[in-house]
Amino acid sequence: MNCENRWIVNGLRIDERGQLVIDAAPGCGNRKRWDGEMEFHLPEGMLDTLMEQLQERKTDERMIEVARCEMKEFIELFKADYHDKKQTLAKQLNIDIQDVPLPHWYSMESAGEPIQFSKYRL
């Protein structure tokens, strides 16, 4: 959608008669702005359809947020386990923690990407 067809919504509500009421400004500065709110007649069943679409979008957004939180928790646990493992290896092998090889995995999204290790000092 280009800028000339875009509107910025400042207010959106359903009035007491079930009409969709929108207050908006043009996204492009040289477009004529309407005065006040615009009222739209919604045919029978369209309000229910609109509410369903809004609910689906809210549900999708909530599920994406749940997934983000789950992934963040997983990564935080992974980081803690990683640092614990480095310390355990250093103690078990009687080496400095700086000598434990550092893994490099350039893309977690590419499952086939090999894990490489930095050279350790001797």
Contact between 36 and 23 (Cβ < 8 Å):
yes
- Position 81 scores a pLDDT of 94
Cα gap 100→121, rounded to integer Å: 9
- The pTM of the full predicted model, rounded to 2 decimals, is 0.55
Cα gap 24→10, rounded to integer Å: 5
- Position 14 scores a pLDDT of 87
pLDDT digit string, tens, across residues 86-102: 999 999 999 999 999 88
pLDDT digit string, tens, across residues 7-38: 888 888 888 888 889 888 887 766 666 777 88
Cα gap 45→51, rounded to integer Å: 10
- Position 54 scores a pLDDT of 86
Work out the mean pLDDT of the chain and round it to a whole number.
85
Q: Where are the beta strands (DSSP E) in the chain?
A: 7-14, 20-26, 38-40, 103-104, 116-117
- Position 120 scores a pLDDT of 57
